[in-house]
Amino acid sequence: MKKTIPQHLLLSAAAMLCTVLSAQSPILDAEISLTPTASNGSPFNGGVFEGWGTSLCWWANRVGYSDKLTDAAVDAFFDPDKGLGLNIVRYNIGGGDDPSHRHITRSDSNMPGFAQPVPSPVPGAIEVDDDGIAIYDYDWDRDRNQMNVLTKILARNPDTLVEAFSNAPPYFMTWSGCSSGGRGEHKDNNLRPEYVAPFAEFLADVVKHFRDDLHIRLNSIDPFNEPSSGFWGAFSNKQEGCDIKDNKLKSEVILALDKALRRRGVRDGILIAVADETSMDLSIDTYRALSPDAKKAVGRINTHSYSGSRRTDLRKLAAGENKHLWMSEVDGNSTIGGQAAGDMGGPLWLAKRIIEDMNGMRPSAWVLWQVIDRHRSDFNAAERANTSLAGSYWGLGIADHFEEKLLLGKRYYAFGQFSRYIRPGDRIIASSPYTLAAYNSESGRIAIVAVNDSGTERPVKFDLRAFDRIPADSAKVIRTSGPVNSGENWNENIPEVPIRLKTLAVRLAPFSITTFVIGKPR
């Protein structure tokens, strides 16, 4: 028999359903409290954010031949007024492959090697000096493209933090004789044990060259890149790489590097960072497995966030060990929001990844893999076809080598919603899965980046009552949304939102990334 449900029960059920839906959508009708306390901030670098960055590998090697492209890149990515205002770069110490090899086919990732061993009378040995230090012939000019980009970045912003890292040792230090990785029984540990010290000497020579000859002080150096991932195999068509899964061997490399830097008098002022593992979970395991002496030599844990989920555990480990923590690399072509999100799908994914990493790990720096991952050139058919900024892709745009200009996409503007307004010297406030907030203890400025990954407008209230003072009575609004060519890109022509009773009540546009700045923008 069909039953009739009383109207008041239907209304009650509807109300309960709305409550459940709101609980499942954290930002829907949400009230987010921002509390500027140490427990909500970063335990690293005294709680002060060091900045945003990118590796120079491999795009700088590709565009540095052209001053026009290099200048455009410095404007777009490193200028705080014209562009993203990035202030961290990771310099790629190219190992260099066997000159007879022709297997790396990407136009950007065939890194030149600038070191060759001085022949020794003993077969298979490297010539050493009176102190037993390996001797190499260096042709630094082979890396002129990457160096052209780096020097122009430093000319624009001398305070840029520079980290050096190695994807692989020079080919002659490996079992496979190939800088793309190992093979056979030595695939998992391609660095030959007898070359641990010479590899460290090679890295220390680079640091000394930077300091003494180029007058560039490196802030940190990482001798590894995803050493436990299993990604790197000999004769790859992609890039340099070197698995060093043996944690005893990792420890030996760290201690040899520490010794080599001290021997050259360049240890002061430079952190040894490890181990740039591809997974946050693997970063925990790798650090824990290092020898006690190797741990003492390490000043910072670097992690990539391509995989893993133990962000809080990694933060607690690094803080407990009194080490700094950087999220030193991630990117991808994932999307959020389905087809309805259009060109915002990739940007929304990037924004959510930044928020998740920053709120979970609370590192003192967040570094994108590389700002340019695609090139338009005559190198091959695929590169000639690189003209569209629609869809999702790695990097923030395209380098057009025909016209020597940059084509910047929605992901570029998504990143700028963070990097232009949350600045070095600010303090991060852990908030919600859809927001990243920061404040400056000197100026009082508050910046909030909020993501709406749904197709409907979303109301949010930010509770600011925990702040002793609010530096303005309204918030400036900047928004990125819509199609790549006709949508909003850092749209600042939006009415300011008033702050009433220390509460900022806003409505987030569909499929948008919005930044609210309270106080002077910089």
Region 135-145 average pLDDT: 94
Position 432 in a domain:
no
Domain shared by 340 and 275, yes or no: yes
Specify the number of domains making up the chain: 2
pLDDT at residue 131 is higher than 60: yes
Q: Is residue 13 part of a domain?
A: no
Q: What is the CATH number of the domain that holds 161?
A: 3.20.20.80
Above 50 in pLDDT, residue 21? no
Same domain, 257 and 235: yes
Last residue of a domain, one of 425, 446, 472: 425
Q: Are residues 159 and 270 in the same domain?
A: yes
149-179 pLDDT tens trace = 999 999 999 999 999 999 999 999 999 999 9
User: Can you give the residue range of the structural domain that contains 108?
Assistant: 50-425
Q: 176 with 123, same domain?
A: yes
In a domain, 202, yes or no: yes
pLDDT beyond 80 at 49: yes
In a domain, 288, yes or no: yes
| Mean pLDDT score, 240-266 | 97
In a domain, 2, yes or no: no
Whether residue 82 is found in the same domain as residue 26: no
Report the candidate in 65, 167, 171 with the shortest Cα–Cα distance to residue 115: 171
Average pLDDT for the chain: 92
Among the candidates 425, 453, 487, a domain finishes at 425
In the prediction, which pLDDT does 243 show?
96
Q: Which residues contact 502 (CB under 8 A, 6 or more apart)?
A: 463, 464, 465, 467, 470
Please tell me whether residues 511 and 394 are part of one structural domain.
no
**Strands 30-33 vs 458-463: parallel, antiparallel or unpaired:** parallel
pLDDT tens-digit readout, 389-437: 988 899 999 999 999 999 999 999 999 999 999 999 999 999 999 999 9
Q: What share of the chain is helix, strand, coil (3-state, %, to 5)?
A: 30, 25, 45
Residues 383, 454, single domain; the answer is: no
Do 266 and 364 have their domain in common? Answer: yes
Does one domain contain both 140 and 229?
yes
Answer yes or no: is 84 within a domain: yes
Is 45 contained in some domain? no
CB atoms within 10 A of CB 11: 10
Query: Do 175 and 221 have their domain in common?
Result: yes
Quick check: 504 pLDDT over 70?
yes
Across 442-463, average pLDDT:
96
Same domain, 481 and 348: no
The pLDDT value recorded for residue 251 is 98
Same domain? For 34 and 175 the reply is no
Question: Is the separation of the CB atoms in 70 and 392 below 8 Å?
Answer: no
Rounded Cα distance between 440 and 145, Å, is: 37
Q: What are phi and psi of 400, to 5 degrees?
A: -95, 105
pLDDT band with cut points at 50, 70 and 90 for residue 7:
very low
How far is the C-alpha of 28 from the C-alpha of 461, rounded, in Å?
10
The answer to whether 49 and 425 are in contact (CB under 8 A) is yes
Residue 443's pLDDT is what? 94
Domain assignment present for residue 503? The answer is yes
Tell me, what CATH number does 26's domain have? 2.60.40.1180
Quick one: residue 7, left, alpha or beta (phi over 0 = left, psi -120 to 50 = alpha)? alpha
Domain final position from 369, 403, 425: 425
- Confidence label for 133 from pLDDT (cuts 50, 70 and 90): confident
